[in-house]
Amino acid sequence: MGAAVERYIVIVLFEGVDLLDITGPPEVFALVQRELDETSGYQVVLAAESLAPVTTSAGVRVLPDVTFAEAAGRRIDTLLVPGSVEVDEQRRVRALADPAVVDWVRRLAARSRRVTSVCVGAHLLAAAGLLDGKRATTHWSTAQQLAADHPEVEVDADPIFIREGDVWTGAGISACLDLSLALVADDFGEAVALRVARQLVMYLKRPSGQSQFSVPLAVASTTRRVEELRLHIDRHLSSPLTVAELAEQACVSERQLTRIFKTELGTTPSAYVESARVERARNQLESTDATLERIATDCGFGTVDTLVRAFRRRLDTTPTAYRTRFRTLP
């Protein structure tokens, strides 16, 4: 058995911090611990100026685990920097960057293998000089502010997250989960990240019962155009979904669409659609009594033979054998 792996993650905590920024990523990292053995995964701590309770933007008080000074006393694998905003009477949003917190971010970053920001935390990284000469993203509502305040940073408001070497920046709010899963994939591989995503599916179900996260999280994409196309595919799996149709949906040529899928997702449009259909079929096999004919139609395979071939190709099994093993109904 290999040596135990535990990565020390420090999440920066301060008054007015966005609550989801500091609670979302630990949920993802905690699931890694569940998927791996007991001595592998992450050790996550919340660090603040003192050990006094910190009030978040949601009014929820959070207790720090360590002080900034204590966190700086050891090597940090990943420094995760959240953000905070203020909203004026005209409902204009402005990101905040407390100079004292910025100074600690700079000092903690020097002790870290990897530095990340979620949402408007990018403003703190920029103020600390950690984004100079780098491409970075943040919440769309403060992207113009980030560009104006820090012209040395190449701001791109479109991606869900951006990696520049050992510096990662994430977009707004729930994108912290996408960024966290990408970090997991970088540390432990895509297979572990996908298993973690599947765990999240257990309580992130749409009312229809179709999972929000499954195939779309198998590979992390970074642009809204691709995410919108994935959503279109997920909503129209019973349709033909030809390359020509998808290219028209994305307002690009078929050749460009294929290039985008290769670059963003490492696969072809047709292969991605088949993966999405297999995922939908798996969900129905696990949780419904639908016949194979009905599943083949609903998922866009057309015939049972096509469904069986896709399962053999993707999962090295048959739909019937899969249902026998993974069926969740009594």
- What residues act catalytically? 119
For 215, the token pair is 């195939």
For residues 56 and 54, what is the distance between their CA atoms, to the nearest angstrom?
A: 6
Q: Which residues pair with 155 in a beta bridge?
A: 136
Q: What one-character DSSP code corresponds to residue 49?
A: S
Report phi then psi at 135, rounded to 5.
Answer: -85, 135
DSSP 154-214: EE-SS-SEEEETTEEEE-STTHHHHHHHHHHHHHH-HHHHHHHHHHHHTT-B-TTS-BSSS
Contact call for residues 109 and 127 (beta carbons, < 8 A): no
Tokens of 248: 């028209």
For the residues of 53-78, what is the DSSP string, one character each? Answer: -EE-TTS-EE--SEEHHHHTTS-EEE
- The one-letter code for the residue type at 71 is A
Phi, psi torsion values for 94, nearest 5 degrees: -135, 130
